[in-house]
Chains A and B, each alone.
Chain A
Amino acid sequence: MNANAPIRNTQAESELIERYEAAKGSLAGSVAVSALRDAAIGQIRDKGLPHRRVEEYKYSDLRAFMNSAAPLAEKANLDAAKAAVAAADTFGDLDRFRIVIANGAFAGDLSDTEALAAEGVTVSSITAALDTEDATLLLASPKTGPNDGVVAMNTAFVQGGIILSVKAGVDVSKPVEIVHVATSAGGQVVRNTVKVGEGANIRLLETFVGESGTGEINAVFDYTVEDKANLAATRLITGKADAARLFTTIATLGAEAEFKSLGFVAGPKFVRNQQFVNFTGEHSEAKIYGVSMAGGSDLADQTLIVDHAVPHCNSREFFKTVLDGEARGVYQGRINVAPHAQKTDGEMMTQALLLSETAEMANKPELEIFADDVICAHGATSGQMDEDLLFYLRARGIPEAEAKTLLVLAFLSEAIEEYGEEDVTEGLEQRVREWLADH
């Protein structure tokens, strides 16, 4: 097939184009922003949604998966949103600040904006900012790989989101939960920009609750971690959903900065969690973790590119996948080491546990190295549960189901515990247990 030949749009693509024409007038944005949106929808019209012949989507054919595209979600009913947030048990009674994004738009009234301001954290809606002329910077995502289709979808339809900024030197006392809540059906397209000032420290929890029916969720998180700053982001992607769940992280790290993230996936039918981590200052560190559980005919895709553009940076990538039923797991990771990025230390590990005969795992741990004095390693394993371990536990009187739970938990906990955010560990392990009880 010729990649340059014009394509025939699928039903979902045609619906996206219609949706764009219908929503265009109400989508925020200056002239320049509108031009970006036009270009993005043009890309979908000309090239289609990402499909298996696009190398980055080889194992996650979004084009084949999306049968239709629902219209964008309407403005949320705040009472319903409040009730949905209260009902959702994301991290139990963990003491935390909360920022609510309802049906794709920042809900200031439901957020702890004032308490955060007192700490030195400002939160505002991205919508107003998009109306200014230099807002294109907010949507420019040059570091996501050339013309990423998921990011283009986001750019075209961004409904809202937040601009969060942590003042230099501030150590935010409690974790900040960004809750994305759906109160009605329809697509939800969000862009959140987070800037952690020099020497500041913040922990984010990103959660998605409520029922969005047949609409897709497409969220882009653009983090800037300035010199000596520290950001930890835990992303919880759970719940049963039949529409695509698409997440993109773009992280830009200054010097001596630390960035840590965990993508926790359990439940939805089609999840793509992609991360682009860029080092721009020396002596920084990134630790990227992933925990995926997929059953039925679900697809869980964790994709990342870590770009070591400067010397003396460390990165560690550790991904765990558990698959049941006819589920498919995907891990695609790439460490780039630019010329002269000496003393880079990169270590990537991906492990998969297949619980059923029919599950499938695709691992693709890549290295692309142009500097000679570096240490980069990668490993990949996949296999079924160790019968000996199971036998050991059963011989000690532990019933089979419980023994299996223990072993899966032990397998996944390696990543959760190494991530080391102690106040979320228990909540995540509880979710592993719940998922296992369902499968």
Chain B
Amino acid sequence: MPAVQETIDQVKAIDVDQYKYGFVTDIESEKGAKGLSEETIRFLSAKKNEPEWMTEWRLDALRRFKQMEEPDWARVSYPKIDFDELYYWAAPKSVEGPKSLDEVDPELLATYEKLGIPLREQEILAGVAPENRVAVDAVFDSVSVVTTFKEELKKAGVIFCSISEAMREYPDLVKKYIGSVVPVTDNYYATLNSAVFSDGSFVYIPEGVRCPMELSTYFRINEQNTGQFERTLIIAEKGSYVSYLEGCTAPQRDENQLHAAVVELIALDDAEIKYSTVQNWFPGDKDGKGGIYNFVTKRGDCRGKNSKISWTQVETGSAITWKYPSCILRGDNSRGEFYSIAVSNGHQQIDSGTKMIHLGKNTSSRVISKGISAGKSENTYRGLISAHRKASNARNFTQCDSLLIGQECGAHTVPYIESKNATAQFEHEATTSKISDDQMFYCLQRGMNEEEAVALIVNGFVKDVIQQLPMEFAVEAQKLISISLEGSVG
């Protein structure tokens, strides 16, 4: 069944030439030396006043990176990246250390305003009910420019700051957890990130605390020829809860820019982390020129009993996406979730999916992935579900649907399902025919035709995924809600 008109229109509305965040902020900025070398790293580390162990950690990563080879298994193709032609440090000149909002360059504030990101606490307070407040960490090129609601969060015991600040203020916490989920040599891009990461967010939720508001980071690449390498570390102590949002945009440029991030989540006993992303990097123009290479390693470790990590992503941007938010289900009874809607258009290439690694007893996971490809794009779901020897009674349910619009795009599904425990029960499916007969009958009986009925039921289902997103992202996600999945293929 081909896609219905409504869906085609919706996808068109978010086509690559509709990119509205492509403006450049004209702001005086400072760059480090070009190229990837020990000097670059020492410069970077000094710039950020980092402790000695951190500098060593970075240098070690660099040495290992030099010995690694670029992976080629993903279904994406791009010219070789010359890491020596990149700048690893770019920052707006006015930013120097911790500051109040009044000191922030008005040009920057204007930029975030234009992007619709509220940075002024009083404005947020004026407009929105208190329960909908969001604390924002705004990362501009290589540095975090401002973090809002810090004081209020501090009252609750929550630490929310840039990772550079955390390294100075809370070195023990950082030292204990950084690299414990994504080791330095985990993969090519994670190793690069370990060597040159510039900034990112650090979140620590103490035992038993339910974070009083949504936390959010907003990433913006502005400078030319720079890569953005951010590092996010979220630790949820026993019995705590946090919901974290991430958004990203970049100017429209002819060149490709590299974004290689590492995100590490740690959930201890009974803790829950909910991580949501709306990824809207510049996808390149309609001829496939420019755009961000988004090579990201995201991994959550359900370290404690009954812990839960949930990833939700809406992917519409980036020229190339290479991203597999994963969960290591180490604690008994822990749970991992992955909800994804990936829309590719123009010449975009997406190779994304998840890994659910069941190590503990009674662990469960759920994977829902919807891929929509249009134009000349390629959209691949690549996922691994594995149960190890001791993962008795592990449960997984995976559903990945894809939809093609037009004759020049491709949709691929590459699931790996490995079971090493007989009591593990895995189900993987990819059809729309799984709509229950009862539901269909109910709708048909009330005078709907079959297509309307399917649309209603499937939309209800996609809405379930969208509803996993916090309110604040609902606007962007709204566009996708009306995408129906008739004619979808596994």
List which B89-128 residues lie within 8 A (CB) of chain A. Answer: none
Cα of A47 to Cα of B392 in the assembled complex, Å: 39
Check A372–B421 contact: CB distance below 8 A: no
Are A2 and B428 closer than 8 Å at their CB atoms? no
| Stretch from B19-27, B142-150, B317-325, B429-437 that touches the partner | B429-437
Q: Are A373 and B413 in contact (CB under 8 A)?
A: no
Q: How far is the CB of B428 from chain A (nearest CB, A)?
A: 4
Q: How many A-B residue pairs have CB under 8 A?
A: 119
What residues of A have a CB within 8 angstroms of the CB of B419 in the complex? Answer: 352, 354, 360-363, 382-383
CB contact between B414 and one of A366, A373, A375, A376 (< 8 Å): that residue = A366
When C-beta atoms are compared, the residue in chain B nearest to A381 turns out to be B427
Q: Which residues of B have CB within 8 Å of A364? A: 414-417
A383-414 CB contact bits vs B (8 Å, 1 = yes)? 11000000000000000000000000000000
Taking a contact as CB atoms under 8 Å apart, the answer to whether A369 and B412 are in contact is yes
Q: A376 vs B430: C-alpha distance in the bound complex, in angstroms?
A: 8
- Render B405-422 as a binary contact track against A, CB cut-off 8 A, 1 for contact: 111111111111111111
Assess A361 versus B1: contact at CB under 8 Å? Given A55-B73, A369-B402, A383-B424: no
Determine the distance from Cα of A381 to Cα of B398 in the docked complex, in whole angstroms: 10
Q: What A residues does B389 contact at CB under 8 A?
A: 358
Q: B489: CB under 8 A from chain A?
A: yes
The smallest C-beta distance from B6 to any residue of chain A, in angstroms, reads 16
Contact of B411 with A369 in the complex, beta carbons under 8 Å: yes
Contact at B417–A357, with CB atoms within 8 Å? no
Complex contact B407–A339 (CB within 8 A): yes
Tell me whether B10 is interfacial, beta carbon within 8 Å: no
Q: What residues on A are CB-neighbors of B404 within 8 Å?
A: 369, 371-372
- Tell me whether B490 and A377 are in contact (CB under 8 A): yes
Residue A374 lies at the interface, judged by CB distance under 8 Å to chain B? yes
Asked if B290 is an interface residue, CB under 8 A from chain A, the answer is no
Once the chains are docked, how many angstroms separate the CA of A314 from the CA of B422? 34
Q: How long is the Cα–Cα vector from A358 to B422 in the complex, in angstroms?
A: 7
| Chain A residues, Cβ within 8 Å of B421 | 354, 357
A362 touches B1 (CB 8 A): no
Task: Decide: A354 and B73 in contact? CB cutoff 8 A.
Answer: no
Which A residues lie within 8 Å of B487 (CB)? 372-373
Residue B18 is within 8 A (CB to CB) of chain A in the complex: no
CB-defined interface of B370-413 with A at 8 Å, one 1/0 digit per residue? 00000000000000000001000000000000101111111111
Q: CB < 8 Å: which of A358, A371, A382 contacts B424?
A: A382
Q: Are A377 and B489 in contact (CB under 8 A)?
A: yes
Within 102-125 of A, Cβ neighbours of B (below 8 Å) are at: none
Which of chain B's residues have a CB closer than 8 A to the CB of A374?
489
Residues of A within 8 A of B408 (CB): 339
Closest residue of A by beta carbon distance from B417: A363
Would you give the shortest CB distance from B125 to chain A, in whole angstroms? Answer: 48
Q: Which of B414, B418, B427 contacts A362, CB < 8 Å?
A: B418
Interface residues of B in 451-490 (CB under 8 A from A): 487, 489-490
Q: A379-B430, A381-B426 known; A372 and B418 CB under 8 Å?
A: no
Question: Which of B422, B427, B487 has the largest count of A CB atoms less than 10 A from its CB?
Answer: B422
A340, CB-defined interface residue at 8 Å: yes
**Interface residue A129 (Cβ < 8 Å from any Cβ of B):** no
Q: Is A378 part of the contact surface with B, judged by Cβ < 8 Å?
A: yes
Contact B427 A377 (CB under 8 A): no
- Within A337-363, the residues touching B (CB, 8 Å) are 339-340, 352, 354-363
Main secondary structure of the interface of A (DSSP, over half): strand
**Residue A365, interface by CB 8 Å:** yes
B52 within 8 Å of A (CB atoms): no
**A138 lies within 8 A of chain B by Cβ:** no
The reply to whether B420 and A360 form a contact with Cβ atoms under 8 Å apart is yes
Q: Does A31 contact B (CB under 8 A)?
A: no
On whether the beta carbons of A363 and B422 are closer than 8 Å, the reply is no
How many angstroms between the C-alpha atoms of A368 and B402 in the bound complex?
11
* Contacting pair B431 A377 (CB below 8 A): yes
Write out, one digit per residue, whether chain B residues 214-243 have a CB within 8 A of any chain A CB (1) or not (0).
Answer: 000000000000000000000000000000
Given A369-B404, A372-B405, A372-B407, A384 contacting B422 (CB threshold 8 A): yes
Residue of A nearest to B425 (CB): A383
Q: Scoring A residues 42 to 61 as 1 if CB is less than 8 Å from chain B, else 0, what string do you get?
A: 00000000000001000000
When distances are taken between beta carbons in the complex, the residues of chain B under 8 Å from A383 are 419, 422-426
Q: How far is the CA of A340 from the CA of B409 in the complex (A)?
A: 11
Asked if A367 is an interface residue, CB under 8 A from chain B, the answer is yes
Q: Are A372 and B406 in contact (CB under 8 A)?
A: yes
- Asked if A379 and B428 make an inter-chain contact with CB atoms under 8 angstroms apart, the answer reads yes
**Is B51's CB within 8 Å of the partner chain A?**
no
Residue of A nearest to B3 (CB): A372
Q: B2: CB under 8 A from chain A? A: yes
A359 touches B422 (CB 8 A): yes
Closest CB of chain A to B343's CB: distance in Å? 15
Judge if A370 is at the interface, Cβ distance under 8 Å: yes
Q: How far is the CA of A106 from the CA of B196 in the complex (A)?
A: 66
Please, which residues of chain A bring their CB within 8 A of the CB of B73? 55
Contact A355/B427 with A369-B489, A380-B415 known, Cβ cut-off 8 Å: no
Contact of B425 among A339, A376, A382 (CB under 8 A): A382
Q: Is the CB of A366 within 8 A of B413?
A: yes
Chain B residues near A382 (CB, 8 Å)? 417, 419, 424-426
Q: For B422, give its contact among A2, A55, A354, A381 (CB under 8 Å).
A: A354
Nearest residue in B to A374 (C-beta to C-beta)? B489
**B69 interface contact, C-beta 8 A:** yes
Residue contact A379 to B429, C-beta cutoff 8 Å: yes
Bound CA–CA A354/B424 (angstroms): 9
Contact A370 B410 (CB under 8 A): yes
When the two chains form their complex, are residues B1 and A375 in contact, meaning their CB atoms are under 8 A apart?
Answer: yes
Give A412 to B94 CA distance when docked, in angstroms.
71
Which residues on the A side are within 8 Å of B426 (C-beta)?
Answer: 363, 380-383
* CB closest chain-A residue, reference B379: A369
- Which are the 3 A-B pairs with shortest beta-carbon distances? A354-B422, A372-B404, A377-B431
Interface set of A (CB-CB < 8 Å, partner B): 2, 55, 339-340, 352, 354-384
List B residues at the A interface (Cβ < 8 Å). 1-3, 69, 73, 389, 402, 404-431, 433, 487, 489-490
Sampled A-B contacts (6; CB under 8 Å): A2-B69, A372-B2, A377-B490, A380-B428, A383-B422, A383-B426
Given A367-B412, A372-B405, 10 more pairs with CB closer than 8 A: A340-B407, A357-B423, A363-B418, A363-B428, A366-B414, A369-B412, A378-B490, A379-B427, A380-B426, A383-B426
